[in-house]
Structure 1
Amino acid sequence: MTDPQTSLSKFRSLLHISSILNANLDLHQLLPLIMLYSKDLLEAEASSLFLLENDEFLYCEVALGEKGEIIQEYARLEFGEGIVGMVAKEKKPIALEDAYKDPRFNPSMDKRTGFKTKSLICVPLFVEERLIGTLEVINKTNDRIFNDADLEYLISLSEVAATAIQNANTKDSLDKRILELSLLYEFEKLSVSEKSLNELGKWMLNRVLEYLGASSGTIYLANTTQQELGILAAKGIPEDAYDQIKVPFGKGVSGWVAEKKESLLIHNLDMDPRYNQLSPFRFESKSLISAPLIYQNELLGVISINNKLSGYAFQHSDLDLLTNIAARLSNTIKNAQLFHQIVDTGKELNRAKNIMQKIMPSVLPETKELSYGVSHIPLEQVGGDFYDVTEIDEFQYSILIADISGHGLSAAVLAAMSHMVLKNFEPDIKLSPSLFLTTLNHMLFGKLAGNFLTAFYGIINLKENSILCANAGHHAPFLMKGTSADASALDVKGKILGLIPDLYYEEKKFSFGSGDRLVLYTDGITEHMSKDHNKRYDDELFQKAIIKGKSKSAQDCANSLIQEAKDYVNSNEFADDVTILIVDRK
């Protein structure tokens, strides 16, 4: 029997433990805490916590001894294997006074660790009747035996622990999704450039390691003729050894991934026959994840990540994240390979330059009532920004500014394609900004290879002194009224083009009369940063510069806006294409 005072003390401890566990959402901190509290609460010598992985098997990262020391590293159990496996299979607690007298007990763990199990309690961990693992305490101190009260305490603790683990897993999944989207955006924004493939590989590997919380890994490129992998970039392998390392398809971990074209998770390399135990380059940890780099069924290579900084094994959520990253990585590598093939010859680049020169109007349709100022600075020799002003009739003029995601040759090609599409629109479509952007989105959907387009389109009506316009994810232009000393962004918004089908774009009408100025721009100028990234030119500063240049002509104002941005961050080198189009009502 447990005396009331002891029982009260135990349940107070449980309340205290509950508040601590539910305040700690980091799974890597949470698991040792659960084992430590369960061991201390039940006055046991050791504890272990097994989690269910992918509804297939149970795994345990570490088990804690009497002084909190690790008595067992990564272990895997099948359903029905040993006491833990039986508890998971039957979803019922098991308590043993003498483990070695029970045929279900598996002594192999004791043999491996040197620990002697005497008595134990093991309970299942449930979240809304769904099994997520087991919690076990071993050997009550001073050769005592666990009783019914101990079982009740451990069941209560398991309920708290299961909820805390579920919350931690949910947070971990959300964090990984955010990291994945952030990383994919970085690939989209930065990876297509004139960097060499080796430089690009190093940058990409460093970003993947940072986001996966790992210290070493390798990106291999496939040589399908030789049926082998060679190293593009690596952390944990000396750079002067890259050329010496060739991995045949089907050999070792990376060779297996290349041959099967399947992602792979290994919890414990020592137990996996595919791991080369004689490799001169040893991993600090025993867990690894690897994914193939595939572009339209073509094997480009393999990415392998190991040495998780937390010291824990990788799990399927890590593998899912790497697999998703690998898909985008494949596009990036393929684009880079194609890009450098083209740049090396120089012919296609010159063609792209000629195409973009034809897209950009050399002369805008100036009238007695309209004048323009233009500054266009592609990041590389060609870019993804384009603009246009077209005379529709005596009183109406269409204006357009657009920006393809990314920059350089790939963006220029997509910009040229988009421009060709919209140039072939019927006249009645061009008279309605809403219909114009809706049609453009329909025609571009699924054709931009994962890129997207932002655009602002409007119709200036000189007779009505108005501008009818619609926006597709672009920065809204600034309008400065001739009678005002202020500039304000037009209140018109919409979704980006090319990614979501069947969108409708709202159009709005604004006053645009004598003396008014409209300033259209791409985000290359408002994202301009100093070389150390400590100083950034933004929309607010751009707006102030527009007001400051009110008395200047449209072209002089466009030139001064570029110079203001350069001077503010003390850098003449933009990180993206920059376009400014100013339209003045005289």
Structure 2
Amino acid sequence: MDKHVLKGDSRQRLALLSEIARSVNSSLDLDEVLNLAIDKVLEITGAERGFLMLRDTGSDELVFRVARNIERETIQAPEFQVSRGILAQVAQEGRPLLTSNAQKDQRLMGRGSVQELGLRSVLCVPLQARDRSIGLIYVDNPYQEGIFSEEDLELISSLAHQAAVAIENARLYQEVARSAEEMAQLYDTSLDIVQELDLPKVLEAILDRAAKLLKARSANLRIYDPKQDELIPLVPYKQPEKIARVHLKPGEGVSGQAFASGEPVVVDDYDTWEGRSAQYAKGVFARSMAVPLKRGAQAIGVLAVDRNREDLPFNQDDVRLLSLFANQAAVAIDNARLYETARETSEQLSQLYETSLDITRQLDLPRVLERIIQRAVGLVQGRFGQIYLYDEVRQELRSSVTYNLPDSIWGFVLKPGEGLTGKILLSRKPLIVTDYDAWMGRFPKVPPGIVYHAAGVPVEHGDHVLGIFWVGRSREDPPFTEQDIQLMTLFANQAAVAIANAQLYEESQQRGKELARLYETSLDVTSQLDLSQVLRAIVRRTAEIVQAREGEVVVYDPQERVIRAFLSMGLAEAGIPSTIHEVGKPPEGLDGLVITTGKPVRVEDYDSWPQRIEGAPKGAIGPAIGVPIIHQNQILGCLSLTRVLGEPAFTDQDERRLTLFANQAAVAIANAQQYQELQRLYLETKEKERMEQELRMAYAIQTSLLPEGCPVVPGWEVAAHWHPAREISGDFYDFIPLDNGKIGILIGDVSDKGVPAALFMALARSLLWAAVSEGLAPAQVMAKANQQILANARSGMFVTALCGFLDPATHSMTCSNAGHPPPIVLRAESLHAESLQIEGMALGVVGQVDFQESSFAFGPGDCVLLYTDGITEAQDPQGREFGQERLVAFLRENQASSAEQLVHGLIAAVQDFVGEAAQYDDFTLIALQCRGRRP
């Protein structure tokens, strides 16, 4: 531009300023505006170089934004060294500075940078907008004096004013654009999250973007697990492991309360917040915010972020932003879950189709392993490989198959943590090693120079590690990558299926042999019915099924909770006493625990087992196993085996075999016990039938001893009844014709019941009958019978009896009583009841008893009742006795009845009284009704 224009009339300058204003205001891009402004200044002033500085909105410091030379080339540091003093003066005072020779300018003489830089012509004007300094424009020429004039200063100041407005507009536009960009980023983030269906990536994106958008220090995303009723952390963001993996209950902490309430929760000071979780130490969190992840109206998880204490608190805009993000995240999680399931299924089916054609068509395990390692090596372009199978019982990795490897590397047995495969086993994660010989974890038995690059993956089926396979490359080959690991891991899934199938086939073959052996064993065991033979067969066959030194079977009584039978094999050889289990006592030790819990128990070292039986000598037993013998949900006993100390522990397979055999043993024992019970019941039935037959015979004999009927006595009605409480009775009565027309009457009751009482009754009745037949008086009859009973009977029983001689001619009866209930007389004239009291001791108690006798007279209508105490002592269901009062009341009510009616009526009255109550005493009574006139 011609500098004469600057010295022209005002119209030219205005036109120039208008043109410059259009130029700098034609763009809203801040960098473009700054470059355009400094270029125009250089063009107008003819300066050698120029700079434009702006204040940083954060630090309020001046920062170089543009540095250009007259050729419009950007100047790089350190070429744009300037006087900081001049810049500071203009910025502080807000006034422009113009000097034609800075070296001689008195205003700048004290500034060392001016002299040091050799500055000559300098022009510096401030940039001001809205009465605020936003920066400055600086141009100079270090070589010539007088380059800039007052017209330059005036024009550049005007240009600076226009540039300041343009810069502010560009800044405002930049802020608006930044806000729009933030929203666009949130929108793009939501799109990314929704479109990304790989769940791990979704979760990582959620936390990464949420934390960045909100300038959070850390974040965590938790998903609710309804089974555990906990919020489970899935992906932490910049959180220590100990903090990131904490599980929270609904309502616990910020995340728990947001989940439980379904609403956002904001906490400014977590340490003083009353809802803080006790799982976190103080100082872990400062400012926290959590919003629920929702599927519809239901919360499925929580998204939480936190800031440092010195950061700004979370506000409602933050809550709104995180809530919007959480809503998108919830949808994305659902989509990713669905996609993950579909993708995994699709890939597995695809890989299964390609690999199963080869490896799964085989069921022979060695052949399957060969094909697996061959396919694995080819899959990742390896040179050789090896597969190890894991023995869970021994916790060992055994080299099973190698491919393209020398024999020196075959046959290794590794413990967890040894070598490449051992470390993979411990971590259950793939591992890549470059330069195996120099690797710190190398297995020392592997010869050097064979393996350089190696990559291995676990072969897992469910929760179990079936084995490890690794593939190797030579030094000249490229190292393994994560993509190789992904391919190997995917293939390992298919290999796991093939190995599991082959092992299952091998196991089924073995199980078939076991079942055949079990079938033979069950035929042997269940063919026996004698319990001792069954137990011997069980112990003998157990050793054929599971290798052991000592075996034993315990038969248990669940009702009495004691051992009913015990049989062992190898106790003596093991140095174990035969009294280790005692019949009739509760089971102890291994057998006791198995029987108590009803579950199998395995012990690796019996000596160190806390529940060992003290009777077992130390060092006699190593591993031990016991399984319950259960039949129809009832524990019948225990089957147990032991091995010598140092021998391998019993395995799951041993337990399964022993359990299967125990099921067969349970049937055999139950059959033998049932057979024993049937034998016992048969013998008891036969004995019962014999006893019943004998009782029937005894009843017939006893009945034959009683009178066939009552005698006919002139002027008297006589009736009697005999009712045993059981099959036979201890009661008796009899009528004996005497001289002169008299009738001897006997009634008695033996102290005991059942067969002994019946026998004693026959003895007593015979002795009394014989004494009466001799013509002795009643008292003499009692005395003689008492002596004979004491002399001949040593049973300890006694009998109460009453002997009476009825004289029809005189309507009188002479009686003697031996401890029997006295007869009751109901007088017809007065209806007065009286007991015919006669003292006397029961027969068979003591000798030399002075029995008494008395005579009683009766009038017409008088009723005499002789009875045993079974009548008065009969009890109703409440335990109340019939008693003498009810007996007398019955006689009064039925005074006009005949003797026969009295007997039957009284028996009916007693039976009505007792109802369903069981009676244990016999009923016997004799009724005498006087119908004649007094002589």
Q: Could you say whether these structures have the same fold, taking a TM-score greater than 0.5 normalized by the shorter chain as the test?
A: no
- If asked which structure has higher relative contact order (CA below 8 Å, sep 6+), I would say 1
Larger radius of gyration: 2
TM-score (norm 1): 0.42
TM-score, scaled to structure 2: 0.27
